[in-house]
Amino acid sequence: MADLEALTKAFSGIGVDENSLISILANSNHEHKKSLRKGCSKFFIEDDNGFERLHQSTVKNLKLEFKRFRDAVVLSLLHPWERDARLIEKALKQGPRHYSVIVEIACTRSSDELLGARKAYHSLFDHSIEEDLASRIKGSERKLLVALVSAYRYEGPKVDEDVAKSEAEILSSAIKSADKRKPIEDEDAIMILSTRSKPHLQAVYEHYSKICGKTITEDLEAEGILKDTVECLCTPATYFTRVLEAALSVDADEESKRALTRVIVTQKEFMVKEGNVLNKIQGILTGSYKDFVLGLVAGGKN
């Protein structure tokens, strides 16, 4: 049945094909809907009494898929400072698995943008970001995250190569001593990552590779937050590509899929440059969500 195939397709991918749903359901009578339910064993089950009902997991998934368009619109409407402040506050509430969102914002925004987010946080929540991070985070990530959001980095092009090489050696030593102390707790490593300019850190990254024969991120494979920090600061294209590919994988979890909306809304210039990622997105997004986020990318700057 064509309608059955169309209905199944409407719920496949990221987002929902609202036009197909309107076309099918608005013109369906009771018997037609009954045949659709019987044919959609992926979504419906029949109990011992012959009652047809939606799988509970399907109800949850449909709510999430319908919500994607709304979330994309809201994030796009917000002032960038308010958007980042709200994303940080939500990540704090959700806990350690979501701290990478805080890293992403702290490390990829300019100094003025990050300062703006801190001002917005004051107004919205009557606390500072630093205060809430320090009081709510109990793990080894606390010092690094507080330092990152407090940063106001030099944004000029000047780099002292001797200092960069020396700091690459400091990071190498911190990582090699991981059996004694986690690199994320090393005071010198935190100082380097939270205070140095991005051009300086990119030079540190290059010196590290020459000294160790591997990149910092290769050596930090198991250090989630620290790896995210280094990638965001030194190779942001690598970081965002990794996030997007995780969102588009067949076994992507809900958190990975949510990251897709966040990155599309906040990193439109990157999305335009990465045409291959954009092509992948076009093939998996659906409905109004697809139309909206592709329109955002086509629109240019954030």
- The residues pairing with 14 across neighbouring beta strands, listed in sequence order, are 285
At residue 282, the 3 state secondary structure works out as: helix
**CB 267, CB 240: distance < 8 Å:** yes
Q: What was the pLDDT predicted at 293?
A: 86
Lowest pLDDT segment from 33-37, 117-121, 203-207: 33-37
Angle at CA of residue 116, ends 114 and 121, nearest 5°: 95
Q: What was the pLDDT predicted at 5?
A: 62
| Distance, CA of 26 to CA of 31 (rounded, Å) | 13
Q: What was the pLDDT predicted at 33?
A: 66
What does the pLDDT look like over 208-247, one tens digit per residue?
999 999 999 999 876 789 999 999 999 998 999 889 889 8
Q: What was the pLDDT predicted at 34?
A: 67
| Distance, CA of 267 to CA of 274 (rounded, Å) | 11
Please check if 95 is assigned to a binding site. Answer: no
CATH architecture of the domain with residue range 84-250: Orthogonal Bundle (1.10)
**CB 283, CB 244: distance < 8 Å:** no
Element (H, E) at 286: strand 285-286
What does the pLDDT look like over 55-91, one tens digit per residue?
777 778 888 888 999 999 999 999 999 999 999 999 9
Q: What was the pLDDT predicted at 10?
A: 67
Top pLDDT among 179 and 92 is at: 92
Please check if 13 is assigned to a binding site. Answer: yes
Q: Check pLDDT > 60 for residue 300.
A: no
At residue 16, the 3 state secondary structure works out as: strand
- Compute the average pLDDT of residues 133-162: 95
The residue extents of the domains of the chain are: 2-54, 84-250
Please report, as a single letter, which amino acid is at residue 104.
E
**How distant, in Å, are the alpha carbons of 117, 121, 161, 189, 218 from that of 82?**
6, 7, 37, 30, 34
Please check if 11 is assigned to a binding site. Answer: yes
Per-residue pLDDT band for 171 (boundaries 50, 70, 90) equals very high
Q: Check pLDDT > 80 for residue 153.
A: yes
| Distance, CA of 208 to CA of 214 (rounded, Å) | 7
* Residue whose tokens read 């959700």: 94
The sign of the torsion formed by the CA atoms of 248, 252, 255, 258 equals positive
**How distant, in Å, are the alpha carbons of 59, 189, 265 from that of 71?**
18, 36, 10
Q: Check pLDDT > 60 for residue 149.
A: yes
Please report, as a single letter, which amino acid is at residue 135.
S
Q: What was the pLDDT predicted at 268?
A: 79
What does the pLDDT look like over 270-296, one tens digit per residue?
777 766 667 777 778 889 999 998 888
- The residues pairing with 109 across neighbouring beta strands, listed in sequence order, are none
Q: What was the pLDDT predicted at 169?
A: 97
